[in-house]
Amino acid sequence: MDHLVRATAANGQIRAFAVTTKELTEYARNIHSLSPVMTAAFGRLMAAGIMMGSMLKGEEDLITVKIQGDGPAKGALITADSKGNVKGYVNNPNVDLPPKANGHFDVGGAYGNGFLTVIKDMGLKEPYSGTTNLVTGEVAEDITYYLATSEQVPSSVGLGVLVDTDLTVRQAGGFIVQLMPFAEEETISKLEKKLGQIMSVTEMLDAGIDPKGMLMEILGDQDVIFTEEIPCSYTCNCSKERFRKGIISIGRRDIEELIAENEPIETVCHFCNSKYTFEIDKLKELLNEI
């Protein structure tokens, strides 16, 4: 089952997160008809987003992580909350690129050069927003760079998606390990040494190592304390009511034009592909609410 674990280590000098996201990545692959490289590109972003969501403090807080690039994928966006729920979409689900020389998906080639933007909605008037340049477009390095420069938290990020021969998701997940400002030199060097020795995220998951096990691989010699374990899922909270409000917000003139075309309109949710149809009579009723 997809889940996230959270831990501290070395007397609070380190905080760490790890997730397995195989099922929700497979779900996203299906609803968005993602090609293998886009399954990897989007799966990595969702795994990172769930962990960054769990760093939020408030129950109702939301984080959006958006990539905009000049590669064929053009970009992708995810929104996550602090409770393990994520949803999102990619701009071009069909990208097909040859693998890189090392056999890995060319996620960097799919996203290309561009920007990573993080928006945190914490119930304040203005959401917090930070943008950094993409470093490689491979997602993990881009998130690492964002966390280091925009949030000033030195972090090590590992993300991975393994696609099976039948194109279903075989493994997906990741970790984020962060150093607190008072981290001592010894803690840092132990961590760096371990990070240089561990298997990749997908190798660990494929060897049956779960998120707790991943953090033990990295932090096992630094007094790990697990503080939270929560399920994760792909969740969309759209509804016909939400789309009804959306149509009202386009204004009387545009609704009158839709009515003049005399065809029911079908709205589609970007996040989950649910379709909601509004008949002409319904559109006429909406005019009374403006």
The footprint of Zn ion (CB under 5 A) covers 236, 238, 269, 271-272, 274
- Residue nearer to Zn ion on the CB measure, 15 or 66: 66
Contacts from 192-200 at CB under 8 Å and sequence distance 24+?
194/218, 194/219, 194/221, 195/156, 200/158, 200/160
Shortest separation between residue 28's beta carbon and Zn ion, angstroms: 12
Closer Cβ to Zn ion, 11 or 274, answer by number: 274
Q: What is the closest distance, in whole angstroms, from the C-beta atom of residue 290 to Zn ion in the complex?
A: 25
Which structure tokens are listed for 37?
């490289």
Of 92 and 273, CB closest to Zn ion: 273
Is the CB of 91 or the CB of 235 nearer to Zn ion?
Answer: 235
* Shortest separation between residue 269's beta carbon and Zn ion, angstroms: 3
Question: What are the backbone dihedrals phi and psi of residue 209, each rounded to the nearest 5 degrees, phi first?
Answer: -85, 120
CA angle in degrees (0–180, nearest 5) for 95-52-68: 35
Q: Which is nearer to Zn ion, 241 or 281 (CB)?
A: 241
Q: Are strands 62-69 and 114-121 parallel, antiparallel or unpaired?
A: antiparallel
Q: At closest approach, how far in Å is the CB of 58 from Zn ion? A: 23
Question: Shortest distance, CB of residue 277 to Zn ion, whole angstroms?
Answer: 15
Amino acid (1-letter code) at residue 39 = T
Alpha carbon distance 248, 55 (integer Å): 35
Sequential DSSP letters for 40-91: HHHHHHHHHHHHHHTT--STT-EEEEEEEESSTT-EEEEEEETTSEEEEEES
- Nearer to Zn ion by Cβ, of 11 and 30: the residue is 30
In the complex, minimum distance from the CB of residue 242 to Zn ion, in angstroms, rounded to a whole number? 9
Nearest partner of 190 among 228, 156, 144, judged by Cα: 156
Shortest distance in whole angstroms from residue 46 CB to Zn ion: 15
Query: What angle, rounded to 10 degrees, do the helices at 22-32 and 36-53 form?
Result: 130
Residue 4 · residue 18 · CB < 8 Å: yes
Number of residues in the chain: 290
- Choose between 198 and 236: whose C-beta lies nearer to Zn ion: 236
